[in-house]
Amino acid sequence: MADFSYDLVVIGSGPAGEGAAMNAVKQGWRVAVIDERHQAGGSCTHLGTIPSKALRQSVRRMMQYNTMPMFRAVGEPKWFSFPEVMKAAESVITKQVEGRTKGYARNRVQTHIGRASFVNPHEVSVTSRDGKVLSVAGKHFLLATGSSPYRPDDIDFSHSAIFDSDSILGLDSTPRNIIIYGAGVIGCEYASIFSGLDTRVDLVNTREWLMNFLDDEISDALSYHLRDLNVMVRHNEEYERVTTNDNGVTLELKSGKRIHGEALLWCNGRAGNTKGLGLENAGLEADERGQLQVNKDYQTSVPHIYAAGDLIGWPSLAGAAYDQGRFAASHMCGTDDQYRVEDVATGIWTIPEISFVGQNESELTEQKIPYEIGRAYFKDTARAHISGEEVGMLKILFHQDSLEILGIHCFGAEAAEIIHIGQAIMSQKGEANSIKYFLRTTFNYPTMAEAYRIASMNGLNRVSRDRRSFEGKQS
């Protein structure tokens, strides 16, 4: 007989686990959350989203100080070490943990600290760090254990000069130069961070261009600004071997190139945290990337066991994971407030940041959808002049005939905030989703939101011009 029994047992206290736990407990369910850490928040709070974004914010402020004429008049440029800027991140983590811990306590969600492993489909054993074992039974389970950086077997991650995106947070000094292998979201974000710390960065990309899921124009803009930050980007490269010595690390590429650095940051892929979960005892099996397959309701092949967050792959975003957890709990409880995560706004915290929602030009072209583009450059807005953040643009893709918004892409300061205005209009049904909304709305002035009006006028003027030209030819 189990030591504890619940309606829902959540394994993992990250965004997906928290979303499910809070939604289920509001329905009157008895809920427990199991996590290896003594502090709530999962990898998102302790190793991923929160520390890296807090770190990036500190570096961005330092860069502003060193480049703005007003501050330069005060004194010489100021540079801080990596451990110094990490202190700000640590304070943010503490506040996040405190808030989440209070939330669990206030809602009477029981927490168990330890490593969970299935004994059978309705029961897990929880082993604490001191070796104590207790059994926890549940009518339903949600697996939200997240993901970890992928580590190739032929690379010695125990060496002091080799890091992944988790261990880099413990870096005890600022390297003069660093190699970043993998130019996905994490690789590009850290390339921005380290270049802002005056570190020479070699960014090795295994593909033809940076983050090929981005709109081509945005990817080009990112490439330009990384080069402007003195980041050396190398495309279409794959590693042959990694060697180390007392002076650092050497990355040998299949192309014959050799790159030496004081440190190597490996950012080439992530794998689901399913090892040790005893999935076989529950009738489940993870794929080669450690991920679980789920249906549209986030159910695994075992109906009472659900999975959400990084463990199921796309979109691997904290905000989406929270909503997935809430949706899964709604489905378990049989409530009518279910909504599936579909059109997700993606935020990428490079310097400057990137955000997008909907389709890009390549996708629309492939689908043969007639679209037009409206652009607004930040350098043309009063708010950007005031803030000194003139780098960037807002790009709206819309249907030539219906004027339906099909995609929004933003590059520049506060892009991740700006995108949600457009996302709200895109989510409207029928004729309410129209680029004309931005012309019928009076925006506060001066704001970055004004870019929507500028982009809409730009796009509609282009449509009107093209129509006049077409009608003239017809006549």
Supply the pLDDT for residue 469: 56
Same domain, 361 and 462: yes
Supply the pLDDT for residue 41: 84
Query: Would you give the distance in Å from CA 42 to the centre of its chain?
Result: 14
Same domain, 256 and 397: no
The answer to whether position 340 is within a domain reads no
Domain count, the chain: 3
Chunked into runs of 10 residues, the chain (475 residues) has average pLDDT values of 93 95 96 90 82 89 79 73 85 89 92 96 95 96 96 94 94 95 96 95 96 94 94 97 94 97 95 95 95 95 97 91 94 80 87 95 97 96 92 97 97 96 95 96 94 96 70 51
Maximum Cα–Cα distance across the chain: 85
Supply the pLDDT for residue 468: 54
Residue found by looking up tokens 């070490």 in the block: 81
The answer to whether position 58 is within a domain reads yes
Chosen domain end from 219, 248, 268: 268
Supply the pLDDT for residue 464: 78
Residue found by looking up tokens 């199921």 in the block: 312
Supply the pLDDT for residue 472: 52
Strand, helix or coil for residue 180:
strand
CATH number at residue 470: 3.30.390.30
Same domain, 109 and 221: no
The two three-digit tokens of residue 111, written as one number: 């927490």
CATH number at residue 329: 3.50.50.60
Strands, sheet with 162-164, edge to edge from the N-terminal-most edge strand: 162-164, 263-266, 177-181, 200-204, 231-234
Same domain, 363 and 450: yes
Supply the pLDDT for residue 475: 46
Instruction: Write the DSSP symbol of residue 290.
Output: S
Buried b (16+ CB within 10 A) or exposed e, 287-296: eeebbbebee
Chosen domain end from 212, 238, 268: 268
Cα–Cα distance measured from residue 46 to residue 40, given in angstroms and rounded to the nearest whole number: 9
Quick check: bond before 303 cis, omega within 30? Answer: no
How far is the CA of 415 from the CAs of 351, 360, 389, 410, in angstroms? 11, 16, 11, 6
Same domain, 17 and 127: yes
Residues facing 264 on adjacent strands: 162, 179
Same domain, 124 and 222: no
The answer to whether position 83 is within a domain reads yes
Supply the pLDDT for residue 453: 96
Same domain, 138 and 286: yes
How many C-alpha atoms does 194 have within 13 Å on its Cβ side?
A: 29
Tell me the H-state helices in 258-390.
Answer: 318-333, 361-366, 382-387
Same domain, 258 and 390: no
Using the Cα atoms of residue 359, residue 365, residue 367 and residue 369 in order, give the sign of their dihedral: positive
Same domain, 261 and 304: no
Domain that holds residue 407: 352-474
The answer to whether position 437 is within a domain reads yes
The answer to whether position 276 is within a domain reads yes
Supply the pLDDT for residue 466: 62
